[in-house]
Amino acid sequence: MVSDWPRQALVGLVKGYRLLLSPWLGSSCRFEPTCSVYAIGALERHGALAGGYLMLRRLGRCGPWCEGGHDPVPDVVPSLFSHLVSPSSEKKNPS
């Protein structure tokens, strides 16, 4: 798909980070799954826009002041992006 290139480019950047930089920086992620695995999962599940938002939000939380822990990619698109969901996938009110 032509419109899929932004997601593919972001996934490629994360995979490049994992291949080239991560071995030099060591494993210091406080979360499970790691931030790079989370980023790829978010991009694959929610696309470039919502997945990129989730990825940046996770990276913003990842720091020495954060306890970390189990933080999987959410199944539901973040509410910030809910208006981008097609009408056929929205819940319909009973008549």
3-class DSSP state of 80: helix
Confidence class for position 42, pLDDT limits 50, 70, 90: very high
Number of domains within the chain:
1
Let me know if residue 69 belongs to a domain.
yes
Let me know if residue 14 belongs to a domain.
no
Q: Which domain holds residue 37?
A: 27-88
Report how far apart, in Å, the C-alpha atoms of 54 and of each of 73, 87, 88 are: 8, 22, 24
Neighbouring C-beta atoms of residue 40, cutoff 10 Å: 20
Let me know if residue 78 belongs to a domain.
yes
pLDDT tens string 59-68? 888 877 888 8
Quick check: 1 pLDDT over 90?
A: no
pTM (2 d.p.): 0.75
Let me know if residue 55 belongs to a domain.
yes
Quick check: 85 pLDDT over 70?
A: no
Let me know if residue 77 belongs to a domain.
yes
Let me know if residue 75 belongs to a domain.
yes
Averaged pLDDT of the chain = 80
- Distance (Å, whole) CA 74 – CA 87: 20
Let me know if residue 19 belongs to a domain.
no
